[in-house]
Amino acid sequence: MLKHILRLPAAPGEPRVDQTPPEVRTSRRRLRACHECDWLMALPPLRPGQKADCPRCGHILATRHHRPAQRSMALAMSAMVALLMAVSFPFASFSVSGLGNRIELTETATTLIGFHQPLVGIAVILTIVVLPAIYLVGVIWLQLGLLQNEPLPASRTIARALAHLHRWMMADVFIIGALVSLFKVAGMADVELGLSFWAFCIFAVLLLLTTQSIDSDWMWFSLAGEPLAPEGARTGRTAASQGLAGCPTCGLVNRLDPMGRGHCQRCGERLHSRTPHSLQRTWALLVTAALMYIPANLYPIMTTTSLGQSSPSTIIGGVVELIQMGSWPVAAVIFVASVIVPVGKLVALAWLCLVVKRSAELNAVTRTRLYRLTEFIGRWSMVDVFVVAILVALIRAGSLMSIAPGPAALAFAAVVVLTMLAAMTFDPRLIWDTPPPRDSRHTQGTSG
C-alpha cells in the first residue's frame, strides 16, 4: 500500500543548484534519523565550520564547510595530479652487491599476479590506485555540475556510489606498508625511494582531505532538494517505532512499507528499518574470518631467498625477526596491525553480537563507541599485505636475494576483507533496541 519509490521530478533544463546552504533556503524542519542509534531529530541550521551530532550517541550527522563545492573540487583535482605523478615515476629502487632493481607503483600489484597471487594483486591495485581514481573522478564530476548550477548526468548515481566506495581506499595504509618494508630490508640492501613515493604520500593526504571535504548533506540538498518530511514524524523517539527510516546515503527520512522496507525517495537507496539478518550475516562472516586466520598464521606470508638459501617466514616469525634485528617500533607496528587489530576486531564484533539482545541503555554509548572503533581500525590490518606486495616487487636479484609471496598473504587479505564486511553488516541500531525497563512504562504509554 505504501510504495515509496516516487522519484523527484527531474525538471530538465531548469537550474536546480543553488550555492546557498540548505538552511537559508528552507524554513521547514529537516528531519534526520541517526545511523547508529535511529534517534529522530531535526537538523539545526549550520554555519560553515559547524557540525551537528546526535544527542543520544554522539554520531556526527552533518558537517558544514565553507564553499563546499570549490573546496572538494580543488582537493580532488590536486589529488588526481599527485596520483598521476605517483603512477608515472619510479617508486623505489634497491641494490645489493652491484645487482639491483627499480619498480613503479603498479608493479607492486602486477608482480604478485606473476607469482600466482592474482587475488592479492587485484586487492592491492584496487585499494591504492583504481578505487581512489574512480572516487576522485566522481567527486570532480559531481562538483563540476554543482559549480555550473546544473548537475551533470548520473550525478545522483555517482553520489550514491561514492558513499559506498570511500572505506575501501587504503592509500594511507599503503604508506605505512612502504615504510615498514624499508625498515625490513634496510640492513640487507640499499633501498632508495623514488619521486613516486613522495607523490604518493601527497596523494594520500589530499585523498583524505577530499573525503573529509564532502558535505553530503549540502551536496544532496543541492543535487535533489529536500522532499517534505513524512507526515506525523515526531522527533525525540526512534525512527523505527514510527515506521520510518533514515537513508544511510543521503540522510533523508522516509516512510517504510508495513514490512519495514522501502527506497529512499531522494537517492533511490534501499532502506530497511533494521539491516535484514544483520546478526546472522555478521556471525557467518566472523566465523569465516576466524577460520581464515588459522592458515594466515600457519603458512608463510613470504619466503626470502638469500645466497641460494630460502627461509619462509610467518606473520609472527616476521615480528620475531624484526625484534631480533632490534627494530622494536616496526615489530610493534606489524604486531598491532596483523595480530591485535584482526583478533581484537573478531572478539569485539562477536561480543557485540552476543550482548546485543541483552542491551542496556547505560552501556549503549560504550558499545556504539566500540563498534565505531572496529569499523575505523579494520583497514589498517592491510599493512602486512602491502609489505609483502612491495617487497616481492622490489627485492628481485635472483638467487642473491629475492622475496616470494606465501599462501598466508591471500588468507590474511581475506581476513581483512571479511572482518570489514562483518563490521558493515552489523547494524549498530540493534544496540539501542532495548526492551524498555519496567520503571519507564509511562514512555511506552505516550508513544502508543
Residues forming the site for Zn ion (CB under 5 A): 34, 36-37, 39, 54, 56-57, 59, 247, 249-250, 252, 264, 266-267, 269
62-67: long-range pairs with CB below 8 Å, 24+: 62/32, 62/215, 62/216, 62/217, 62/218, 62/251, 63/215, 64/21, 64/215, 64/217, 64/218, 65/213, 65/215, 65/218
CB of 135 to Zn ion, least distance (A): 19
Nearer to Zn ion, 55 or 276 (CB): 55
Taking the least distance from each CB to Zn ion, the nearer of 100 and 248 is 248
Q: What is the DSSP secondary-structure string of 149-197? A: TSPPTTHHHHHHHHHHHGGG--HHHHHHHHHHHHHHHTTTSEEEE-HHH
**C-alpha of 330 from chain center:** 24
Given the complex with Zn ion, which of 248 and 407 has the nearer CB atom?
Answer: 248
CB nearer to Zn ion: pick between 7 and 25: 7
Q: How far is the CB of 241 from Zn ion (least distance, A)?
A: 14
Phi, psi of 30 (to 5 degrees): -105, 110
Nearer to Zn ion, 83 or 252 (CB): 252
User: Which residue, 146 or 163, is less far from Zn ion as judged by CB?
Assistant: 163
**HSE-up of 320 (CA within 13 Å, CB side)?**
5
Residue 62 C-beta: closest distance to Zn ion, Å: 13
Minimum distance from residue 256 beta carbon to Zn ion (Å): 13
Characterize 377-407 residue by residue with b for buried, 16 or more Cβ atoms within 10 angstroms of its Cβ, and e for exposed: bbbbbbbbbbbbbbbbbbbbbeebbbbbbbe
Minimum Å gap between C-beta 326 and Zn ion is: 47
Output the smallest distance, CB 361 to Zn ion, in A: 12
Q: Which is nearer to Zn ion, 34 or 392 (CB)?
A: 34
Beta carbon of residue 38, minimum distance to Zn ion (angstroms, whole number): 7
